[in-house]
Amino acid sequence: MRRAPVPQRPRSSARYRGKLGALGVPFLALWGENDPFAPVAGAYRFKKEAPGPEVAIVENAGHFVFEDDPERCATEIVRFLGTALG
Render each residue's pLDDT in the chain as its tens digit; 86 residues: 667 666 555 555 667 677 777 878 888 999 999 999 999 998 888 888 877 789 999 999 999 999 999 999 999 999 999 988 87
**Distances from the Cα of 85 to the Cα of 25, 71, 73, 75, angstroms:** 11, 21, 18, 15
